[in-house]
Structure 1
Amino acid sequence: MGLKGKEYRELLEPMTEELVGMARWARVTGARIVVIFEGRDTAGKGGAIRAVRDRLNPRQCRTVALSKPSEDEQSQWYFQRYAAHLPHAGEIVLFDRSWYNRAGVERVMGYCSEEQAEAFLEQAPIFEKQLTDDGIFLFKYWLTTDQDEQEERLRERLDDPLKRWKLSPVDLAARDKYDAYTDAREAMLRATHTDNAPWTLVDFNDQKRGRLTLIRDLLDRLPDQHVEPPEIDFPDFDGELSAESFSVIEPIADYSAD
């Protein structure tokens, strides 16, 4: 049975406070944090990212969701456009998909050659070791979903006008390639699951429970993040309080047909 909304919010609230504390720790210590969210279409990456960043300062915690590369970017070193978005001191960057596009959708859908995909699998661990050797905290999460659950969510996107924009031609074409995506993922895990940058697979068939599991894991794998909030001198206001001046907009009239 899926986790109910009220129970989910009650469990999420203390973790959200910890996330705020983690962000304060990162700002004070200058820590650089990268969190990669990968998974099949509809796995729940967007919801997980929102759960992490919802109460954090958007100037400190930002999401990177790159579109397909331009012609100029296609001529660059593959990792170049991703490296441009890495965090500076005190910053948290959440990748909604990442350089691992090459190991997944690009490979399965034929957007890159097999030689390019194999070269990526050799180079990714080297690239990531450079990041972690430089002191970046790198976390890689794969959100797992069963095929029947994915089909249900795709259908929900089709039927819901507020979610229809999420349904792309690539999503539909990928429906017949579930096993191919599985094979590509397994090859990716074998090649890029390393001691300094391991993968963590999280069950997202229940998205609410998956978010809680992911956030708990993220917080537990960082160093002790306790930093007392700064003292703020907030004296009582001894001036004359005044009401804000504003104008009232009249409600829209009911223009019913005659």
Structure 2
Amino acid sequence: MFESAELGHTIDKETFKTEVPKLREALLEAQYELREKGNFPVVVLISGVDGAGKGETINELYEWMDPRYLSTLAFSAPSDEEAERPFMWRYWRALPPKGRMGIFAGSWYSIPIHRRIDGEIDQAFFDQRIDQFNRFEAMLVNEGALVLKFWFHLSKDGQKTRLKALEKDPRTAWRVTKESWERLKTYDKLQDVASHLLRMTNTPWAPWIVVEGTDDRYRSLTVGKMILDALQKRLADTRDQNYPVAPPIFPKIDALDVLTALDLEQKLAKKEYETRLAKAQARLAELVRSPEFSKRSLILAFEGADAAGKGGSIRRIAAALDARQYQIVPIAAPTEEERAQPYLWRFWRHIPRNGRATIFDRTWYGRVLVERVEGFCSEADWLRAYAEINDFEHELAADGAIIVKFWLQISKEEQFRRFKEREDIAFKRFKITEEDWRNREKWDEYHQAVCDMVERTSTGAAPWTLVEANDKNFARVKVLETVCARLEAALKDKKRHD
């Protein structure tokens, strides 16, 4: 879930100076409308790694908005009075009333995270807390609250660099403590714990918004605009306030995302392609025939832009496998039988047994891609699907499945070239339909949907691999080498499955 927060998002000083006055005016108008209507509270959680700018962002919000109608709650170790009460007691007491915004700096998530990192609580207890938080937040939303959860992220090197910069500046040196440097040593553990927590609490009613904390201007402007957008949409919502409303998904304000960051010009010469392809196919054949694989299963999920080359990549994988060992499942519109069942039912039907592989040509992600963009399901359905899909994949991985997910990306120009080629070549005409051309007209909508999908469903157990597919040779080799690397690493990990 952290890929898009390590791309190096920045906002230049002139853009920031131009945008802030308009943002401040709009935030104040929304804040006063919230106070005047007084029909729901706003709960903002600011969490993340040390040095990512949590305090600075809160200070910016106080400067941009009317502080009389804001409250900031900072929680450290519980007092004696708080320790003698149930864990959630002090958070209940701190909730903002309708018409106001409460900012939680160190929320109900902080103590369980640190206790889990320090080994004071086990995974089972941690997960019990997570379930408690999910129910608590669901209650808040069902009572009408708008819940916005921000996680400020830095890479390990980025955190170290930022702490040094803060320590060097006399105006900010006080923010860096001995504990800050101590926590840097546990960065990898924090990422493991935080990744699990974000996945488990990334609910449709209160999803996490991961923000890169490297650039102050980008971070502040992003948070300010997302709060404004969520407030404006909620204030304009005329539905029953007990109807669960999730914060809107907001595009990156600097136009940098996981797709635009790809270098689509990468290529492989024919000779190198043939050498690496043969080597990867041989390695894959060895891996799936190894004794270790008999205790595991392999699930390959292929998504991508139309004409990006999913079929070609799948054929190169299948060429390395025994036909008795795998099945390819093409996914199209659901049948009547499938529509009569819960959405994920038709995918559960094809989950492979140990020692086998299933290759999905299109997947369960159709709900948050084509169904979202084309309006084939409700907003509530596709917002809910992110959490349901994450849980689905987590359950598969926990039972021993090795899940490898690919998104194949091509440029709009390359897609047009391939569409025309398919029309001109007789044996390829079956690949091009009127629907492909209609989908192309919604390129931008699909682009945003893909970025949201990657950000919300790229987990430790089932990360996305984005494949630069303008060059088919490069794409096919990257796919095969990724499958081999993931499979090899998983088969070496015997901690859970021996």
The TM-score bracket by the shorter chain reads 0.7 to 0.9
2:295–2:400 Cα contact (<8 Å) kept: no
TM-score for the superposition, normalised by structure 1: 0.82
Map 1:170-249 onto structure 2 (within 5 A).
Answer: 170-223=435-488
Per-residue deviation, 1:66: 2.4
Per-residue deviation, 1:104: 1.0
Map 1:18-167 onto structure 2 (within 5 A).
Answer: 18-25=283-290, 29-167=294-432
Measure, in 2, the Cα distance between the counterparts of 1:44 and 1:66. 16
Which structure has the higher relative contact order (CA within 8 Å, separation 6+)? 1
Per-residue deviation, 1:19: 1.3
Measure, in 1, the Cα distance between the counterparts of 2:486 and 2:358. 16
Which letter does structure 2 place at the counterpart of 1:166? K
Measure, in 1, the Cα distance between the counterparts of 2:267 and 2:393. 35
2:408–2:466 Cα contact (<8 Å) kept: yes
Give the 3 Å change call, closer, same or farther, for CA 160–91 of structure 1 in structure 2: same
Which letter does structure 1 place at the counterpart of 2:274? R
1:26–1:91 Cα contact (<8 Å) kept: no
Identity %: 36
Measure, in 2, the Cα distance between the counterparts of 1:174 and 1:219. 33
Give the 3 Å change call, closer, same or farther, for CA 184–26 of structure 1 in structure 2: farther
Aligned length: 226
Give the 3 Å change call, closer, same or farther, for CA 80–26 of structure 1 in structure 2: farther
Per-residue deviation, 1:4: 4.2
Per-residue deviation, 1:63: 0.8
Measure, in 2, the Cα distance between the counterparts of 1:181 and 1:102. 12
Which letter does structure 2 place at the counterpart of 1:61? Y
2:300–2:360 Cα contact (<8 Å) kept: yes
Match of 1:169 in 2: 434
RMSD: 1.8
Question: Deviations along 1:60-112, whole A, 9 cap, x unmatched?
Answer: 02211023111221121100001100111100111111101111112112222
Question: Deviations along 1:164-199, whole A, 9 cap, x unmatched?
Answer: 101122211011111000011111112111111111
- Structure 1: any 5+ residue segments left out of the alignment? 227-258
2:299–2:359 Cα contact (<8 Å) kept: yes
TM-score for the superposition, normalised by structure 2: 0.44
SS of match in other structure, 1:163: helix
Q: Which protein has the larger Cα radius of gyration, Structure 1 or Structure 2? A: 2
Measure, in 2, the Cα distance between the counterparts of 1:2 and 1:193. 26
Which letter does structure 2 place at the counterpart of 1:202? V
Question: Deviations along 1:190-248, whole A, 9 cap, x unmatched?
Answer: 2111111111111111111111112112211223669xxxxxxxxxxxxxxxxxxxxxx
1:26–1:32 Cα contact (<8 Å) kept: no
Which letter does structure 2 place at the counterpart of 1:24? R
2:287–2:293 Cα contact (<8 Å) kept: no
Which letter does structure 2 place at the counterpart of 1:213? K
Which letter does structure 2 place at the counterpart of 1:57? D
1:73–1:81 Cα contact (<8 Å) kept: yes
2:394–2:461 Cα contact (<8 Å) kept: yes
